[in-house]
Amino acid sequence: MKEVIGMLRGIPSIISPDLMNTLMRMGHGDEIVFADRNFPADTCGKRVIRADGHLISHLLSAVLPYFPLDHAVPNPVAVMSLVGHDQAPPVWDTYRKLLSGQSESFIDFEYVERFAFYERASQAFAVVSTGDQAFKGNIILKKGVVRDS
């Protein structure tokens, strides 16, 4: 059964009107950050969209059918790199499955050092602040173009 948001059909209810508006206003090469509950969203973000109580993986699942990834760059998706003996978090496998199923542009993540990630987030079009608690769950998507078939 399709969910209804506002007066539109087919838009998952997890995508708020603010998030849909933001996705539509983004241009080619703009980036959006999906951030966990510990991320300094208000410090880093030019525009902050609240998605409290939601998991990043659920938001990605809802957003990716509408969001073209940039095919003109080697890695249109970035995560915060590991430090020391950190193990790759299970959520990255979840993201890989979601991204591989929705975009031919996704091959692997770009791994970005923590403070460089924060700097990049400060230049992003928007930061979506979630309630996610997954270790290293923050992710940046670079928007591509919609092409006619």
DSSP one-letter code for 81: P
Q: Which amino acid is at 139?
A: I
Write the CB contacts of 52 (distance below 8 Å, at least 6 apart in sequence).
37, 129, 130, 131
Does 3.40.50.410 match the CATH number of domain 26-142? no
1-27 per-position pLDDT tens digit? 455 555 678 899 999 999 999 999 999
pTM for this one? 0.92
pLDDT band at 109 (very low <50, low <70, confident <90, very high): very high
Q: What is the pLDDT averaged over residues 30-39?
A: 97
53-94 per-position pLDDT tens digit? 999 999 999 999 999 999 999 999 999 999 999 999 999 999
Domain-by-domain residue ranges, the chain? Answer: 26-142
Work out the percent of the chain whose per-residue pLDDT is above 90.
86
> Would you please indicate which residues are annotated as catalytic (active-site) residues?
28, 70, 118
Provide the pLDDT for residue 114. Answer: 96
Beta-strand pair 48-51/126-130? parallel
- Residue 117, CA atoms < 13 Å, CB-side half-sphere: 25
CA distance 99 to 53: 22
Bridge partners of 27, per DSSP, are none
